[in-house]
Amino acid sequence: MTDPIRDILERKGFLVLDGGLATELETLGCDLDDPLWSARALIDAPEAIRTAHLRFLEAGAGCIATATYQATFEGFAARGLDASDTARLLGRAVEIAVSARDGFVAERPAAATEPADRPRPLVAASVGPYGAFLADGSEYRGDYGLSAAELYDFHARRWEVLAETPADVLACETTPSLEETQAYCRLAAVSHHPTWISFQCRDAAHLADGTPFETAVALCEAEPHVVAVGVNCVDPRLVAPLIHAARRATGKPILVYPNSGEKWDAKAKRWTGPATPLDWARSATEWRREGADGVGGCCRVGPAEIAAIRAEASH
């Protein structure tokens, strides 16, 4: 198994991730008020997805995540799409990201501001949690009531399709529970595909379901096909202590990509409350000093913030 994240870290020492794909799609005019969320754009606006990827690449992202976070066989079936249609859309999502990445790389020599030694950006096939399919905010609670075996079965078909694509790595994002972590580790082991698992945490020490964060990270440490761990869509104020907790349980790369600090209202389907005041460049430096190997953003974080992280990482 190749480890694309380790390859970049050995060359550059740090990985800049992208920001919130759905946030950028909304900026581009996409209507994501739908149970499919960003995956709706795979049906309605595939060119907008490519544009969003390009904006993050131009901002300096060294990894872009596909529009598959909320793309599931069950979710698309509710829209009248059969299994072959869903498999095609999952593959198409990766094709869009790969095309954007390859087109960006081909044009890069013409950009005087681009460093000559910038590694080829990675494409991460995003795997959202079971709660993303439910679209009821339960990815922020982890209270599914399903076993690890049931969650394995839910994710297996999508995983099989994505593992056969040209994506460099599978990115399991906003993971809120111990059972879902167990399912992902087993899927990574069975598929032999490089995978990162990023967690949703209720505080600086626990997953959303109350599992000690270090317990979940230790599961990932024990699975060789999980090549990195992280946290995403958490308040930026939790990032530094979560890095410390993760480092106590693993020697693997740690990736952090918080949201803006606002709260998701699942009933109203909107972000509420104030954003956490943040200097993204300064925070990226702090998180890197604390032990993060990669930094980016999640919901409500756009190309401007990624450009600030890239500028700081280049110093």
Question: 314 or 227: whose pLDDT is higher?
Answer: 227
pLDDT at position 70 is 94
Residue (of 95, 92, 124) closest to 194 by Cα position: 124
Percent of the chain past pLDDT 70, that is, above it, reads: 93
pLDDT at position 1 is 79
pLDDT at position 112 is 47
Count how many domains the chain has: 1
Q: What is the CATH number of the domain that holds 90?
A: 3.20.20.330
Give the whole-angstrom CA distance, residue 213 versus residue 202. Answer: 10
Q: What is the pTM of this model?
A: 0.94
Range 233-243 average pLDDT: 97
pLDDT at position 113 is 52
User: In which domain, by residue range, is 260 found?
Assistant: 4-313
Confidence of residue 313 (pLDDT cuts 50, 70, 90): confident
H-helix segments, the chain: 4-12, 21-27, 40-44, 46-59, 73-77, 83-107, 130-134, 148-163, 178-191, 213-222, 239-249, 280-290, 303-313
- Taking only the tens place, the pLDDT of each residue in 84-124 is 999 999 999 999 999 999 999 998 765 545 566 789 999 99
pLDDT at position 312 is 80
pLDDT at position 65 is 98
- Which stretch of 9-13, 196-200, 239-243, 276-280 has the lowest confidence by average pLDDT? 276-280
